[in-house]
Amino acid sequence: MSDYSLPLTPQQWETLVTLLSALTPAQRQWVSGFVAGWGALSQEPVPSPPPPLPANVSAGITLLFGSQTGNAEKLARGFHERLTEAGITVKLESMANYKPAQLKREHDLLVVVSTQGEGDPPDNALGLHRFLHSGKAPRLEHLRYAVLALGDSSYEHFCKTGVDFDERLSALGAEPITERVDCDVDYEDVAEAWIEKILDELCLAPTASTSTTSEAGTAIPASQYSKKHPFPARLLENLPLTAPGSTKDVRHIALSLEESGLRYTPGDALGVVPSNWPERVEQLLEVLNLYHADTVTSASGASSSLEKALLNDYEITTVSRPFLEKYASLTESAELHALLKPDHRQQLQEWLFGREIIDVIRQFPVRGLSAQEFIGLLRKLPPRLYSIASSWTADPDEVHLTVAVVRFESHSLSRNGVASTFLADRVEEGGTVPVYVHENPNFRLPRDPSTPIIMIGPGTGVAPFRAFLSEREALGAAGRNWLFFGDRNFETDFLYQNEWLDYRRKGLLTRIDVAFSRDGAEKVYVQHRIRQQARALYAWLQEGAHVYVCGDATQMAPDVQTALLEVIAQEGGKYPEQAQEYLHELQATKRYQRDVYYLNPASPKNQTASLVC
């Protein structure tokens, strides 16, 4: 690289480049004359522009992230630090704020993007994804790019959004800096290797290591505890929220954060590092004909007994496609190989319904499989994320969760949710739960405490709104608050009923509309209540209200969005396209935020929440 020392800060240089790239040739000529004249009048002459960098070194990079729950954003912020420390000018931006027209002026583009559920882009990537796949997308022969995709391999369309960006940028003529990398839920090491390769490809020597999961940009003091080093939080309460006779089991879990240094903001999630169900471990050892004390070595080189590894280190329930492909290579089963054919995707999804890894082993046994070979087929046991249901401002030494306990039977076996039954059944009061705070900057209360908010959270989706109201009460916020809540039955499933009614009496909760789907002849859901309150809801929107949706992304969230679009079109006198644009604008300005999760497609009860990136 050139040893020329740029007499500008990175921020000044970025501002200058952005300004000049937006000017016409005539405007640039005028600015050139103005700067020359200014330099002649000043005591210190304006320095000459820096010589061009070598052709194989990037003069600037745009780093875009598309993230639903914050993982992709956190990685992108860590990458931004790494690149900046390596001496490169980097512009970091959310896809929601990025102007697609800027693509024509980019030279190097890095994309870090997650995929939701069955191949959907995260909310803040929808606009750019739609633009690139439209007829408005320009040719991009001048562009170099690289894509890091995050996803969950237990879903059919693994990392599809990243694949979409990669394939579309290539189709538009852009040249890849390096091949796309697809990350599963255990993504840290793979992501680290990707950024190292980017640094190498851009001829930038890697600098001292900076964690790719750094908390850059946050105002909250860092704690020594993290995903890799969770805090052992003591269980304070495990209380039923559903009444006897309910068809569900929902718990209020309170954990102590005393002396942890952990802080959180309403809208954040708590990462829970669970252990597997001991009974399932026993059943696996029996069907595999392996011994508890067999010694195995993990990918990191650590040794332990097979029993301990299966209890604490590996995913032993969810069947991912990589697991199936590796397992199929060890068996001669024509049926299993047929299920993995590309044109048999639907048959595979139907076969997986209600099944776990133990079902695969039972139906397609492999003789002589060693303990080390078996764990080589598995992925690491990922933490589970739960929306935080409390305010650190109101309860600084505690964190609360709203947990739906997953239990069902299928294919003659009892099934238990890994984290939910760990919390509900296997941690005794006074015992500890390994936890860490997972920031979610895409789900935040308005900066102005006088701004009205509309919260839509059926079932356990109400959890973050308990945190929102607790925070607003603690801060004395003047903004009006409207809650839409729904569940199955009023008598047994009105989660936190006394608290909502108390907030209503105090005036903190301005309005509450509820829907209990199984109390009448016809099922009524929150989207029906939204339509019924169309005039008042649209008036709140016109007055600047922020809208928040939390819960199931598969059915509830799309149904709620359809209802919102109908309200906007009806009450605003808009065509459907105009209503859609109105909602897009709310999303772009962070007035419409969603914290949604996809449910495990293999669960007959459809209750097991998947990790979302």
Among 159, 373, 381, which residue's Cα sits nearest to residue 275?
Answer: 381
Q: What is the tally of structural domains in the chain?
A: 4
**Strands 61-66 and 90-94, sheet pairing:** parallel
The predicted model gives 493-500 an average pLDDT of 97
Pairwise CA distance, residues 592 & 559, whole Å: 15
Q: Looking at residues 461-486, what average pLDDT do you find? A: 97
Q: What is the mean pLDDT of residues 368-373?
A: 95
Domain shared by 61 and 181, yes or no: yes
The arithmetic mean of pLDDT across residues 242-265, rounded, is 96
> Is 413 in the same domain as 300?
no
- CA 236/CA 253 separation, integer angstroms: 8
Backbone angles phi, psi at 14, to 5 degrees: -60, -40
Question: Do residues 467 and 491 both lie within one domain?
Answer: yes
**Structure confidence at residue 12 (pLDDT):** 63
Model confidence at 610, in pLDDT bands (50, 70, 90)? very low
Read off the pLDDT band of 17 (50, 70, 90): low
In this prediction, residue 591 carries a pLDDT of 97
Name which residue leads in pLDDT, 3 or 288. 288
Name the residue among 399, 412, 324, 408 with its Cα closest to residue 366. 324
Q: Is residue 89 part of a domain?
A: yes
142-201, pLDDT tens digit by residue?
999 999 999 888 777 889 999 999 999 999 999 999 999 998 888 888 888 898 888 888
Q: pLDDT tens digit string along 566-593?
A: 999 999 999 999 999 999 999 989 999 9
> How would residue 8 be classed by pLDDT, with cut points 50, 70 and 90?
low
Give 608's DSSP letter. -
* CATH code, domain carrying 424: 2.40.30.10
Q: Is 255 helix (H, G, I), strand (E, B) or coil?
A: strand
Asked whether residue 83 falls in the same domain as residue 156, the answer is yes
Residues 509, 469 within the same domain: yes
Pure H helices in 25-155: 25-41, 71-85, 126-132
Query: Who wins on pLDDT, 454 or 96?
Result: 454
Q: Does residue 151 sit in the same domain as residue 246?
A: no
* Mean pLDDT across 265-276: 97
* CB neighbourhood size of 528 (10 A): 17
Contact between 388 and 270 (Cβ < 8 Å): yes
pLDDT of residue 602: 57
- Is the pLDDT assigned to residue 211 strictly greater than 80? no
- Answer yes or no: do 77 and 103 share one domain: yes
Q: 582 and 476, same structural domain?
A: yes
In the predicted model, what is the mean pLDDT of residues 335-341? 92
Per-residue confidence (pLDDT) for residue 175, from 0 to 100:
94
- Tell whether 443 is covered by a domain: no
Residue 8 domain flag: no
**Residue 63 sits in the same domain as residue 184:** yes
Domain membership flag for residue 223: no
On whether both 271 and 282 belong to a single domain, the answer is: no
For residue 582, the 8-state DSSP code is H
Residue 522 has pLDDT above 50, yes or no: yes
**Does 406 lie in the same domain as 319?**
no
Domain-embedded: residue 19: no
Among 116-120, 284-288, 386-390, 476-480, which stretch is predicted with the lowest mean pLDDT? Answer: 116-120
Q: Model pTM?
A: 0.77
> What pLDDT, on a 0 to 100 scale, did the predictor assign at position 423?
97
Instruction: Answer for the pair 417, 425: CB distance below 8 angstroms, yes or no.
Output: no
Mean pLDDT value across residues 265-294: 96
How deeply is 118 buried, as exposed, middle or buried, from its count of CB atoms within 10 A (0-12, 13-18, 19+)? middle
CATH of the domain at 568: 3.40.50.80
Reduced to 3 states (helix: H, G, I; strand: E, B; else coil), residue 512 is strand
Please give the pLDDT value at position 542. 97
Q: Do the Cβ atoms of 168 and 137 come closer than 8 Å?
A: yes
What is the model's pLDDT at position 394?
A: 94
Domain co-membership, 366 together with 488: no
Q: Is residue 44 part of a domain?
A: no
Neighbours of 25 (CB within 10 A): 7
Boundary of a domain, candidates 179, 201, 223: 201
**How high is the mean pLDDT of the chain?**
86
User: What span, in angstroms and rounded, lies between the C-alpha atoms of 127 and 584?
Assistant: 8
Report the relative pairing of strands 175-176 and 181-183 from DSSP bridges. Answer: unpaired
The DSSP element (H or E) to which 197 belongs, if any, is: helix 188-201
Q: Is residue 41 part of a domain?
A: no
The more confident residue out of 25 and 317 is 317
Query: CATH code at 293?
Result: 1.20.990.10
Other beta carbons within 10 Å of 270: 26
Question: What is the average per-residue pLDDT within 198-206?
Answer: 66
* Last residue in a domain, options 375, 393, 420: 375
The answer to whether 524 and 517 are in contact (CB under 8 A) is: yes
Q: Comparing C-alpha atoms, which of 42, 68, 260 is closest to residue 151?
A: 68
CB 89 within 8 A of CB 14: yes
Query: What's the domain range around 530?
Result: 453-597
Q: Which of 396, 415, 438 is the last residue of a domain?
A: 438
Provide φ and ψ at 481, rounded to 5°: -135, 130
Q: Domain holding 85: CATH number?
A: 3.40.50.360
Least confident of 216-230, 397-411, 415-429, 534-548: 216-230
In a domain, 42, yes or no: no
